Every structure is written in C-alpha cells, then in structure tokens.
Amino acid sequence: MSRIASNLFALQILGVHGDEAFVNVLVRTVHPVSERPVAGVSVTAKFGDARTATGTTTAEGTLRLRIPMAETIDSDEDRVEVSARVGDFVQEGQESVEVERLDRMLVQTDKQIYQPGQTIRMRGLARRANGAVLANVPVRATIYQDRNRLYQADVRTTRFGVWAADWTVPEAAVTGRYSVAAEVTGMSGVSGSRSVTVSRYELPNFSVRARLERTWYLAGQQAVIHVSAQYLFGRPVEGGEVIVKEAAGARTPIFQGRLEQGTARVAVRPRTTVENVQEWFDIDVKDAAGKTERTQIAVRWAKEPLSVEVLGVERLSSRVVVPLYVRVRYADGTPAPGAAWYLPWTMTDPVERPVSLQVSYDKAAVRVGDSILCTVEARRKTLDGRGLLIAEVGLPPGVEVERSSLPARAEVEPDRVVFYLWPRGMEPVAVQFRFRVRFAMKAKAAPSALWDYYNPEARAEAAPEVFRVEGGVRRGLPAE
C-alpha cells in the first residue's frame, strides 16, 4: 500500500540559475503520494536551441544539470524545458531563467601617456561571457576630453574579435586626461573604456604616493589619505603644496596644505549614507621650484562590512534538503575565511497542519547491542479527514528491528518502518517498537513523515534524531 506503482513519480524543478558559462538546473523526482525520493529517473534539460544536458537522479531523487551557454543569446530571458522518464512514463516541466548578460569589451592603448603630435594606437577585444569572441561585429571607438568628443571611428572586429583604430593628438591639444571608449554597435552593454594622459614632456623631479589606512569604509567612518612626495635622489619634498580634489563632480579642493617632512595627512569627509561605490581623488603636489606631479587614489565606501551570496539555487522547497553554496566576502571583495553562517533545519509554517507526528526514542547515546524503544504518536487536528494515516518512521543506518515488537499493520524497510494507522476522530494513536544497534557510529536517522492516505497534502514531518553508539568498529558521521 505504501507504493501504488513503482514507475510513478512527480517531477519538481527546484531551481534554475544562469551564470557566465552554464545554465544550472536542480530537479527532484518523488512519489506522487508518499513524496519519497525516486532514484534512477532519466532526466534531460534543454535550453534555447539544441543545447541539452542529461543525467539520472540519485538515491535522494535529486539531480543537478549544467547546460553549456550558447555563443549567441537572443534575449536576456529564456526557458528551460525538462523531461524525465522511467520506462514509458514521462513527466515534463519548464521554468523561465534570466541570463546574466556579462559580455565584455576590453580596451587597450599602446601606452599610458602621450605628447601632442603623437599617435594613440587603440585596440580592443570583444567577447561574450562564456569566452567566445564577437567576430565581424561593428564597433564604434570614441575619444573624449572633459566630455567633448574629439574623435570617432566605426570599425569591425576580425574573426578573432579584435578591432583597432589610430588617432594623432593635435599639436595644440589641451593637456590632461582623455577617455578612450568603445562599444559594439547595436548591442547594449558590450562596451569598455580606459583613460590616457596627454602632457608636454617634462622630466619628473619627484614622485607622489598615496595610501589609505583601510581598504574600505562604512557610513560615518573617517577615511584618511596619507600623501608622501620624494625627489628622485631620495630627499623628501619639504614644504610642497598639496591639493586634493574629487576626480568627478565638484572641483573644489577638499584639502589644500603643505607637506611636512615630505608627508601630509588628508581627512576625507565621512558619508552619512553609503552605497557600494568607489570615490576617486586627484592629488597634486607642487614643489618650491613650481614643478607639479599628480597621483590618484580611490576610497571604497561600503554599505555593509560583509556580503553574503547564496549561489546556484534560486528557490527552495520546504519538502527537500538541497545543498547551498554560500560565499562570504569583505566589502573590498576579499574572501572572509572562517565566517559563520546559519541555516535552520525547519522553517516556520504559517499554516496550521491538519495532522501531527511525534517520534521519540528512550535514548540516543548507547552501546553496540543495546535495544532502543521508539514511540510514535500520530493524530488528526481537525474533523475534516477520516480513514487511514500512513506514518514512515526513519531509522539510523545498520540497525535491526525487533519484529516481535511491531504491531500487525507495519512493514519494515531498510531505512524506516511504515505504520498504517486508523485514529478515531481527533484522538491520538500511539505505537511502539524496538530496534537494536549493531555498529559503533555517530549517525542521523532517516526523516520521519505522516500523511493522510486519501489527502496526501495533509502532511507532517518530524526532525531526525542523531544517535551516538560506542563500542566495536566506528561508522557514520565524524565525531564532534
């Protein structure tokens, strides 16, 4: 009675997620009545065109499939079609997936600093998120100076995804920072840029360095920039003028002062509200001879000190335990080793369940050969249902059930005992049985569940117990 038909199953799509190179699909197959896992189901997942992935469900009824991403994607959203088969019985389902468009444009120049009259040689590489190049596509290359467009060229990529363009800086060009940008025409988001400097050639007399006390700051925290300047022969720039400005926005200096023994301490105004941004600052130092050198530094502002990402699963089912991959990083992006995270075994259910199940054991710490008494209590909590209740009580691995202790309506399976119960109204019905442990181990019993035979949605579960058995050869979970 616990199994209506061996080849029946229900297909559940637990999660679909598209990353840079693959579409990840997590599925589960269960019995439609008992909801016990069904293993050995052949599953095929298809995404977009003819790209597919196949596999077979495990003993837990789960399977994770990885479908290679196509080189070209018509839209940011597509559907994954899943088909599962056992013999002639087939179940199908589909789920929409939003693909992260992470196509990239790499922009390069032959050097960083140019003089008027020299040629800026640009080139770039256009590629997709999965690494495939964008061959023979139109690219628009542009050069800006203070938001003024000075040059524009329309070129095409080669079969290797590479493009190139040249621009000669006019002799009367304004010195300063220039922006070299490129984008694939007609494809939003596939763009890139870099900055170059145009200046008259002057042999540098000293170098300027800047450092921060921390790699990131939260709202209300004081960011401090330490500026130092040193002549090329090693002597500090004494008494030099320091001017610090925001690289973007208002050009009013946030600091203007003098170097003392070649150093200066610059305090940046704390932010009252913070998002995850980088704020760039230009630092100019002028020595007594009137020579000026510049450097830049970025202050990283963070909303939270840690970021936590759950990877690979977008939706969880309350009736299945699935693996979660958690990545914890500091605000500057570096990994946070040893960070603790917690996931409760059960989740609060706001809906009152129509049935309840309690499973208890007289002891959980025993020795090899000891007998354990298990008590099972099941009942209906409403008068809506009637008739048969089925209780599956999980067992720890490698135990022997004392069949003489079982009631008449019970079946023994490798990892559980199935009871067929007929309660009267809302009165509880209780049964007891014994099992004997045969090995030393630390192991968790299989989950226990109760459901109404005529209404499988009326269901309750009980958390599994962890058993510690001493003596003999130890098996199971590692010791705490």
Q: What is the CATH number of domain 206-301?
A: 2.60.40.1940
Predicted confidence (pLDDT) per residue in 200-215, tens digit: 876 678 899 999 998 8
Q: What sign does the dihedral 365-368-371-373 (CA atoms) show?
A: positive
CA 225 to chain centre: 33
In the chain, which residues have pLDDT < 70?
A: 1-6, 19-21, 49-50, 70-77, 98-103, 129-130, 189, 202-203, 249-251, 311-325, 338-352, 384-385, 472-480
CB 198 within 8 A of CB 283: no
Is the domain 10-98 a CATH 2.40.50.100 member? no
Q: What is the pLDDT of residue 477?
A: 43
Dihedral (Cα; 408, 411, 412, 418), 10-degree rounding? -110
Q: What is the pLDDT of residue 336?
A: 79
Q: How many CA atoms lie within 13 A of 161 on its CB side?
A: 15
Is the domain 355-476 a CATH 3.40.50.300 member? no
CA–CA distance, 122 with 106 (Å, rounded to integer): 11
Instruction: Provide the strand spans (E) within 69-205.
Output: 77-86, 89-98, 104-109, 113-114, 119-127, 138-145, 148-156, 162-168, 176-184, 191-198
Percentages helix, strand, coil for the chain (3-state, rounded to 5) are 0, 55, 45
Q: Where are the domains of the chain?
A: 10-98, 104-198, 206-301, 355-476
CB 79 within 8 A of CB 97: yes
Q: What is the pLDDT of residue 22?
A: 76
CA–CA distance, 161 with 156 (Å, rounded to integer): 9
Q: What is the pLDDT of residue 211?
A: 93
pTM for the complete prediction? 0.37
CA–CA distance, 91 with 240 (Å, rounded to integer): 77
Dihedral (Cα; 70, 73, 76, 77), 10-degree rounding? -70
Q: What is the CATH number of domain 104-198?
A: 2.60.40.1930
Q: What is the pLDDT of residue 16?
A: 82
CA–CA distance, 261 with 254 (Å, rounded to integer): 21
> If you search the block for the tokens 């032959």, which residue do you land on?
110
User: How many C-beta neighbours within 10 Å does residue 272 have?
Assistant: 7
